[in-house]
Amino acid sequence: MSAAVSQTQPRDLKAMRVTKETGAGVLRRKTGLRRSAQVKHGMAIKVSLWSRILVWVVFIVAFFYFVVPALWLFVAATKNAGELYTTGGFEFAHFRLWENIRNLFTYRGGIFARWILNSVIYSGFGSVITALVSAMCGYALYVYEFRGKKIIMGALMASLLIPATVIAQPVYLLLIQLGLGNTMAGVLLPSFVYPFGVMLCYITAQSSVPKEIIEAARIDGAGEFRTFFRISMPMMMTGLATVFLFAFMQSWNSYMMPLMVLDDPNLYPVTVGLVDWRNQSSSVAALGTLTITGAFVSIIPLILIFLATQK
């Protein structure tokens, strides 16, 4: 019996030794994993911290780039002609904003209000038609297969690389040949063609309109126009709102084409009218203040449109 006990004890000691060694190994592995996890977590914290700092730096630079000029414009719009050149750029003098706005809308029989109305027509009506044309073209490129489709897509992509000033003169000559010089149609017609909007609507249709739904609508007897306007177009509303916003801003800030096409001041958009006032301000000092006040008032519709299209 003593021999059996003596044989059992070494086995138990070996088992205990193996268990201790195994436990120590597991503990070392766990400790190593924990340390490596802590190191990775520390690196992640450092990376996250630098990312946040970079984001804040970019945000602050963008804030000053976009907001400071608007703040200067607001301060300048509260001054008269004398205070505009005798005080600091961000220094308030006598607050004359409402007086300047009243003078702005009464000068020359309220022609500034006419310019604002013209810009609303050019930008509002023109952007709606632009968004509709872009949606139809982008939808057609997505849904239909036809010969020359790749060539059209390539031409569409290439047109995005051509500056608008390069084609301004040829477009102007075409408008004159069509008899659209000095007309609202001459300003509106070129804005209906928007390659960026077509491409954006094409991408929106790809991601938002499954072709199975279009096939199901056709099987149910819906025509192509009904399928587009009743089914596909509501599914593309996010992209259409983006196209409308970009087209509105581009048309509102347009200067080159209206300047070339229009001769009648009553047809000017607000951009051309304000530049005309600025050119006359060297001889009429009051026009300097009116130009700055008009520039401040002209950015309000852009802010309202931007806020309205956020949803």
pLDDT tens digits, one per residue of 113-137? 999 999 999 999 999 999 999 999 9
Residues 248-254: what's their mean pLDDT? 91
9 vs 194: which has the higher pLDDT: 194
Residue 293: Cβ-neighbour burial (10 angstroms; 0-12, 13-18, 19+): buried
Q: In this predicted model, what pLDDT tens digit does every residue of 12-64 receive, in sequence order?
A: 444 444 444 444 444 445 455 455 544 444 544 555 778 888 889 998 999 88
CA distances from 9 to 82, 155, 176, 257 (A): 108, 89, 111, 102
93 vs 118: which has the higher pLDDT: 118
Contact call for residues 192 and 257 (beta carbons, < 8 A): no
Q: For the domain with range 110-280, which CATH number is right: 3.40.630.40, 3.30.420.40, 3.90.1200.10, 1.10.3720.10?
A: 1.10.3720.10
pLDDT score at 47: 57
Residues 203-230: what's their mean pLDDT? 90
Q: Residue 304 pLDDT more than 80?
A: yes
Nearest-angstrom CA–CA distance, 235 and 189? 27
- 149-159 vs 126-143: helix axis angle to the nearest 10? 140
Read off the DSSP letter of residue 188: H
State both tokens at 259: 């300047």
Residues 156-180: what's their mean pLDDT? 88
Residues 286-291: what's their mean pLDDT? 86
Nearest-angstrom CA–CA distance, 273 and 112? 8
Q: What are the residue ranges of helices labelled H in 79-221?
A: 81-86, 97-106, 111-120, 126-143, 149-159, 164-177, 184-191, 195-208, 211-219
- 195-208 vs 237-252: helix axis angle to the nearest 10? 170
Nearest-angstrom CA–CA distance, 92 and 239? 42
Residues 212-227: what's their mean pLDDT? 90
Residues 7-14: what's their mean pLDDT? 44
Nearest-angstrom CA–CA distance, 47 and 69? 34
**Given phi > 0 = left and psi -120 to 50 = alpha, else beta, which region is 17?**
alpha
Residue 202: Cβ-neighbour burial (10 angstroms; 0-12, 13-18, 19+): buried
Nearest-angstrom CA–CA distance, 309 and 298? 18
CA 286-113-257 angle, 5° bins: 90
| Mean pLDDT across the chain | 82
Residues 228-248: what's their mean pLDDT? 91
Nearest-angstrom CA–CA distance, 134 and 68? 35
Q: In this predicted model, what pLDDT tens digit does every residue of 256-274 receive, in sequence order?
A: 899 999 999 999 999 999 9
- Regarding pTM above 0.95, the answer is no
The fraction of the chain above a pLDDT of 90, given in percent, is 41
Q: Residue 89 pLDDT more than 80?
A: no
pLDDT score at 297: 92
Residues 155-168: what's their mean pLDDT? 86
